[in-house]
Amino acid sequence: MSVTVTIPAWVDGVLTPVEKLEAHLKGLRHKAVSVFVIAGGEVLIQRRALGKYHTPGLWANTCCTHPEWGETAAACAVRRLREELGITAVVPEARGQVEYRAEVGGGMIEHEVVDLFRVVAVERPALAPDPEEVMAVEWLTRAALEARMAAEPEAFTPWVRIYLAQHGATIFDT
């Protein structure tokens, strides 16, 4: 399903509503949200559906997206957990903001200012992945995730590799 989504991006230094695909094709600096769900010492990762317009079939963090124009980062995190994975009744905890720039294929660039969130649950939440967004999920310890990423970096999205290498303590440490 192709839906035009307007996201907040900086154009000439001013936060402006921009179509999501345009932001990626032009490499515009734009807002994003990434969420990590952790339960029982394991983090939930997802393999992106093959129909995604960039980085299809690659492993990523629990979920990530862009807030729509006028949407708060926290509301966006809750929305995408529900839409992508069917996770409800959780309150993501804000873990700070990071910025990165990475080529994601097809001439597209993610230049994102990301609000990081995490959910720490006592037990694994029930999942109902949307097959248009997610083709597989897996629960891994941080050590197992880092080892797998080191062994097969090309199987992971650029942003999750950046998050683990540069912001692991922000995401995982209490």
Q: What angle do CA 94, 167, 84 make, to 5 degrees?
A: 55
pLDDT per 10-residue tile (average), the chain, 174 residues: 76 92 93 97 97 95 95 97 96 96 92 97 96 98 97 97 95 88
Residue-wise pLDDT tens digits, 142-163: 999 999 999 999 999 999 999 9
Domain covering 6-172: architecture: Alpha-Beta Complex (3.90)
Catalytic-role residue among 63, 64, 76, 84: 64
Catalytic-role residue among 63, 76, 112, 138: 112
* Residue 131 CB partners (closer than 8 Å, separation 6+): 49
42 assigned to active site: no
Global pTM exceeds 0.85: yes
With tokens 């490499």, the residue in question is 27
Residue-wise pLDDT tens digits, 132-141: 999 999 999 9
Domain coordinates of the chain in residue numbers?
A: 6-172
63 assigned to active site: no
- Residue 110's pLDDT is 93
